[in-house]
Amino acid sequence: MASMIPAGVYRTSYREDMTILATRNSRLALWLGILLVCATPLVFGRYELGLLVNIGIMGIAALGLNILVGFTGQISIGHAAFFGFGAFASAWLHERYHVPVALCIPLAGLMTALVGLVFGAPAARLKGLYLAIATLAAQFILEDFFARAQWFTGGVAGRITEPFEILGWRADREETYLYVVLAWVIIMFVGASNLMRTRDGRALVAVRDHYLSAEVMGINLAYYRTLSFGIASLYAGIAGALYAHYLLFVSVEAFNILLSIQFLGMVIIGGLGSVAGSLMGAAFMVLLPEAVQALADALAGGAVDRALRLGNSISFLREMAIGAAIILFLIFEPDGLARRWRLIKAYWKLYPYSH
């Protein structure tokens, strides 16, 4: 996380030195990026906007998992279950207590955080593989709960959810829901960036890097290990709630262990311990199947297809590509897209001189 500050940037106060984004240009670029996303409904169709919405939702969930896995150095293979809990909680809050949807989303996040704290309690004592198994148990326990708790989830039939609405403004289409997701993405990512530059964020990283000396520094290991589960679940819950009010229907099958693995894939591909990387990883994982699908469509019926007799199995390329991407990233880019992005920036900083 070494800083990369170009020559000629002089900071004259600690406040300036502690900003999230180092330079005026990077701040400008961010604002420009947000503006561009805001403008996409003018250009893109519903399908492309749906992809953007998905990237945002998955990005929030991946960021939560990154706080747990990347920053605190723990492991969870049950993230999808918390994501699902958030989705059901939001739907339930609206249907049972008629809480406005806009409020349901943060409330569902808080409820999921509480559940996460419960399932995170073993993390105070377990590490590594043992913790992985404990979180796997959380995944299956919650999945089972979803299937059985009819009052909460609607059981196997699932639950219809209401679209997002605030002050009479309904966001029931991609063109409008995009802004809801964008707002939450900004809130959650700024929150995480702030967290990482304050006391508790540093404590989480300290627990990861050297827990013995963290303890000597006065850090309560059990508290922070459990807390990181709580924060991860908060993110998962909010992402899940956003997902529920986007699809307008939630059902148990969506939140299986495959999704948990996909979240892990996003975090690894994006870059462990990188806030921005979480969004990059989510974008990669959402867009990769699209790219592979496009490739498969291009291949279908072509010379390669005929020669290898791929036929219907060409669609499996999609599934295989995800696995291959994770493996390739682990081998060639273990620090993820975030590091590649830094290297590209470093290259342009020195361009046209290579040293």
Partner 1 sequence: MAADASPTAVAPARPDPTGPGRHAGEAQGPPAAPILAAEHVTLRFGGVRALTDVSFEVRRGEVFSIIGPNGAGKTSMVNCISGRYRPTEGAIRFDGKDITRLPTRKRAGIGIGRTFQNLALFGHMTVLDNIMVGRHHLLRHGFWTGMPYWLLGAQREEIAHRREVEEIIDFLEIQHVRKATAGTLSYGLRKRVELARAVALKPKLILLDEPMAGMNLEEKEDMARFILDLNEEWGMTVLMIEHDMGVVMDISHRVMVLDFGRKIAEGTPEAVLADPHVRRAYLGEADEVVHDVDEPAVA
Of 48 and 200, which has the nearer Cβ to partner 1?
200
* Residues making contact with partner 1 (CB under 8 A): 1-3, 5, 14-15, 17-18, 191-192, 194-195, 197-203, 205-206, 208-210, 212-221, 227, 231, 273
What gap in Å lies between CA 286 and CA 1, rounded to an integer? 26
| Min CB(239)–partner 1 separation in Å | 16
Q: How far is the CB of 50 from partner 1 (least distance, A)?
A: 29
In angstroms, give the least distance from the CB of 199 to partner 1. 4
Paired tokens of 156: 């196997």
Q: Which residues contact 133 (CB under 8 A, 6 or more apart)?
A: none
Q: How far is the CB of 278 from partner 1 (least distance, A)?
A: 16
Secondary structure (3-state) at 334? coil
* Pairing mode of beta strands 159-160, 164-166: unpaired
d(CA 261, CA 140): 14
Comparison of 221 and 300: residue with beta carbon closer to partner 1: 221
Q: Which amino acid is at 248?
A: L
Q: How far is the CB of 191 from partner 1 (least distance, A)?
A: 4
Torsion-angle region of 98 (φ positive above 0: left; ψ -120 to 50: alpha; else: beta): left
Q: Which is nearer to partner 1, 48 or 335 (CB)?
A: 335
Helix (H) or strand (E) holding 60: helix 46-66
Which is closer to partner 1, CB of 240 or CB of 273?
Answer: 273
Smaller CB distance to partner 1: residue 26 or 194?
194
8 Å CB contact between 345 and 4: yes
Under a CB-based contact definition with an 8 Å cutoff, are residues 102 and 273 in contact?
A: no
Phi and psi based region of residue 343 (left: phi greater than 0; alpha: psi -120 to 50; beta: remaining)? alpha
Nearer to partner 1, 42 or 216 (CB): 216
Smallest distance, Å, CB 235 to partner 1?
A: 11
CB of 20 to partner 1, least distance (A): 9
Q: How far apart are CA 86 and CA 89, in angstroms?
A: 5
Residue 17 or 290: the one with the smaller Cβ distance to partner 1 is 17
